[in-house]
Amino acid sequence: MTWTLVIHGGAGKLDSEMVSPEQDTGARAGLSRALNTGSKVLADGGGALDAVEAAVRVLEDDPHFNSGRGAVFTHDGTLELDAAIMDGRTRAAGAVAAATATRNPVGLARAILDDGHHVFLAGKGADAFSLERDLPQADAAWFATDERRRQFAEFQANGGGFDVDMKYGTVGAVACDTLGHVAAATSTGGVTGKRWGRIGDTPVIGAGTFADDRACAVSCTGSGEFFLRVGVGHEIAARVRLSGESLQVAADAVLAEVKALGGTGGVIVAGPDGDMAWGFNTVGMYRGRASSVGSRTVAIYANEPA
C-alpha cells in the first residue's frame, strides 16, 4: 500500500515582502530534511507514529520555525513549549504544555503516549516526567535565537498585543504507513508575548492534533484560540467519517468555520487510503508532502503549484 507524509511549519504572513531570501531558503531546506527523515521511516516499513515524530523532531531542531529551538518568548521573556502526538490505530495520545527544558517536546509527548497512564501533562509536572524518563534536556540558550529576541524586543517596544495573522507558527506532520494506519504530531512555542500560562490548540487533542484510522490524521497551525473553539482536528475527521466528505472538502469547510469566527491558519491531513490534503486561509504556509509513488512538494506561498 502507498505511504504518505505531509508536514507544515506554520501559516501566516508569508509572502515575498515578509519572508527574506535567507528565511525562504532556510525554511525550504528544513522542510526537505523533515520530509527526508519521515519518508525514510515509512519507506523502510516503519509506522506512521514513528514517522511523524521523526519529522517533527527535525523541525523542532531547526531555528527557522517556532517550535523547540526557535520558539518565541513569553511576556516574561521565558520559553514555554507545547506538543502533541496521536496514533490513529488506537487513538492513544500524548500531549504536553508549558514544558521548559525538554530538547524535543514531541519526544516528551511520545513518552507520555507510550507510558499510557495520562494523556496531557503541563508545566512543572511535564518537566519532572521528562527528567524521570531521561529525555534529552536543553537550557534556554539552546532554544533562544537572535531572531526571536529581536521579535520580542519589537513586541515590547510596541506595547504588546496579539496579532491573529502571525508570520511564524507551529510545526506538524501527518502520515499514513503501508498498513493504512495514520498518525499526527504537532509542536509549537506558542505566540510571542503570551501571558498567564496561555495554551493554544497545538497540544489539545481534537483541536490542533488528531488521528483516527476510521477517518484521517490532522495537524493544525494558526490562531489557536479560534482553532480551539472549532475543535478543528476532530471536526475534520468527523466530517470525513460521518458524512463521507473528501479530505480536501472537509478541511476547506472547517477552515471556513475558523475564518467566520475571525481566525486564520492552515491544516494538513492524511487519510488511511493514502489520500493527502492541505488548506490555509493565509497568504502562505510552510508545507511539504511526499509519498511512495514518487510525488514530492515543498512550498511556502499560496501561488505555488500544489
Catalytic machinery residues: 170
Query: Any known ligand binding at 198?
Result: yes
Cross-sheet strand order for the sheet of 93-99: 120-122, 93-99, 81-87, 182-188, 171-176, 4-12, 284-291, 296-301
Cell numbers for 37, please give them: 527523515
Question: Is 159 part of any known ligand binding site?
Answer: no
Q: What angle do CA 97, 103, 109 make, to 5 degrees?
A: 40
Q: What amino acid occupies position 143?
A: F
Beta carbons within 10 angstroms of residue 33's beta carbon: 15
Is 32 labelled as part of a ligand binding site?
A: no
In our burial notation (b when 16+ CB lie closer than 10 A, e otherwise), range 131-156 reads: eeeebeeeeeeebbeeebeebbeebe
Which of 275, 203, 214 shows the shortest CA–CA distance to 89? Answer: 214
| Residue 268 annotated in ligand binding | no
197 assigned ligand-binding residue:
no
Residue 44 assigned ligand-binding role: no
- Name which of 20, 2, 71 is nearest 289 in CA terms: 2
User: Residue 237 has what DSSP assignment?
Assistant: H
Pairwise CA distance, residues 17 & 224, whole Å: 24
295 is in an annotated binding site: no
Pairing mode, if any, of strands 93-99 and 120-122?
parallel
223 is in an annotated binding site: yes
The answer to whether 276 and 294 have CB atoms below 8 angstroms apart is no
Feature table: binding site for substrate: 198-201, 221-224
